[in-house]
Amino acid sequence: MTNKHTFQTRLLHNDHKFDRNTGAVSVPIQQASTFHQADFDNPGIYDYSRSGNPTRDALEETIASLEKGTHGFAFASGMAAISTAFMLLSKGDHIVISEDVYGGTFRMINDVLGRFGIEHTFVNMTDLHEVATAIKPNTKVLYIETPSNPLLNITDIQAVSKLAKANNCLTFVDNTFMTPALQQPLDLGADLVLHSATKFIAGHSDVVAGLAATNDPEIGEQLGFLQNSFGSILGAHDCWLVLRGLKTLDCRLKQSSESAHKIAEYLSAHPLIEEVYYPGFNCHPGSSTHAYQSSGAGAVLSFKLKDEAAVRTFSQHIELPVFAVSLGAVESILSYPAKMSHAAMPEPERLKRGITGGLLRLSVGLENPEDLIQDFENGLEYVKAAEQLSEVK
Ligand SMILES: *Cc1c(COP(=O)(O)O)cnc(C)c1O
């Protein structure tokens, strides 16, 4: 893929812009499990679709190139990508990981890897001193998610990667919230980038998928071996859906990020909103680090209402956002971390992390932001009325 064009253009004009055999302007879906071998001594590139499939190859080459890596991999889900990546480790190894990682990653580390003799330490990744202190002689991986979920904390990818290199560790970055359109961790020294492509990359709430990319040939080879051994590959049709979603990634994110900024400003000026978490604000503690390592604040923000009662009233009276788990779609998605993504976390643990009963997370979609703001204004009017009523009582 030629690198002379900008990211926005390369999403469309790349090695897979048309099919070499037919000229078709869409990657063909090779819905085949096995491939005819005319000569069993020379089986050709493809023999069985778990090991390799042309549609999956197209997606894997595309994500490798977009993340400026040499090897890309497509998995059945973000968790399949993340879990397979952890299989690069062996019994006795240790992971230093951000304490506010995605819930599924938390579960994998906490409830699964330990049974295989892989240890871990959760740290506040934004505190480099704490990260350095947690590194042990058997530490093999520093694991970052930035911005984090749901409070949008920012980790300095370059600083953590340097710390990792100095201690012979690898750096893994979950880049789901930013995508390569806004943040390219391999350029900042990370060794492996992971994605839930279910979110912004595919972008249409119609496919569950995971991606990985690396610029280290050795990791690439090992991960390819693990992908084939575990077999949690992405099917051909889903690969095609992700490829199609990718074409509009840049313009979707631009529009959604612009709207997110407007909505964040609106919410922060509203008297019923106690706090807005958005890395695009100068007052966000990670804003300068984020501005250095990313080219935009993204389309996710969180905000705090007074309490659960206020959240209930608000969510019952807004019309536009889908109220659901997940994020990164064409439609705005509002989610309630205390009862959704972090429901399994014990309440004291949750509150310690700032995930209170009043916290909502918003992933901004492609609606006109003025319509969204009007919808929120309306919902907040109901919250105000309910609060006045309870004061009178
Ligand atoms: C959703 C998500 C995942 C898990 O991806 P799935 O595709 O749901 O398996 C991992 N990391 C982050 C940051 C996510 O938002």
CA–CA dist 136, 130 (Å, integer): 12
Residue nearest to atom 6 of ligand 1 (CA): 78
Report pLDDT for 204.
98
CA–CA dist 181, 331 (Å, integer): 19
CATH architecture of the domain with residue range 7-246: 3-Layer(aba) Sandwich (3.40)
Q: Is 50 annotated in the active site?
A: yes
Using a 6 Å cutoff on CB, does residue 199 contact ligand 1? yes
Report pLDDT for 289.
98
Which residue ranges make up each domain of the chain? 7-246, 250-392
CATH architecture of the domain with residue range 250-392: Alpha-Beta Complex (3.90)
Helix (H) or strand (E) run with residue 159 in it:
helix 157-166
CA–CA dist 373, 109 (Å, integer): 39
Using a 6 Å cutoff on CB, does residue 83 contact ligand 1? no
Helix (H) or strand (E) run with residue 174 in it:
strand 170-174
Tell the burial category of 24 from Cβ atoms under 10 Å away from its Cβ (0-12, 13-18, 19+): exposed
Ordered per-residue pLDDT tens for the chain, 393 residues: 457 899 999 999 999 999 999 999 999 999 999 999 999 898 889 999 999 999 999 999 999 999 999 999 999 999 999 999 999 999 999 999 999 899 899 999 999 999 999 999 999 999 999 999 999 999 999 999 999 999 999 999 999 999 999 999 999 999 999 999 999 999 999 999 999 999 999 999 999 999 999 999 999 999 999 999 999 999 999 999 999 999 999 999 999 999 999 999 999 999 999 999 999 999 999 999 999 999 999 999 999 999 999 999 999 999 999 999 999 999 999 999 999 988 877 888 789 888 999 999 999 999 999 999 999 999 999 999 998 988 887
Cβ partners under 8 Å of residue 310, min gap 6: 272, 358, 383, 386, 387
Report pLDDT for 343.
82
Same fold, 7-246 and 250-392: no
- The catalytically annotated residue of 156, 174, 191, 250 is 174
Using a 6 Å cutoff on CB, does residue 238 contact ligand 1? no
For residue 5, report the distance from its CA to the centre of ligand 1, in Å.
30
Find out whether 298 and 253 touch, Cβ atoms under 8 Å: yes
Report pLDDT for 8.
96
Q: Please list the helix, strand and coil fractions of the chain in percent, rounded to the nearest 5, in that order.
A: 40, 15, 45
Report pLDDT for 2.
54
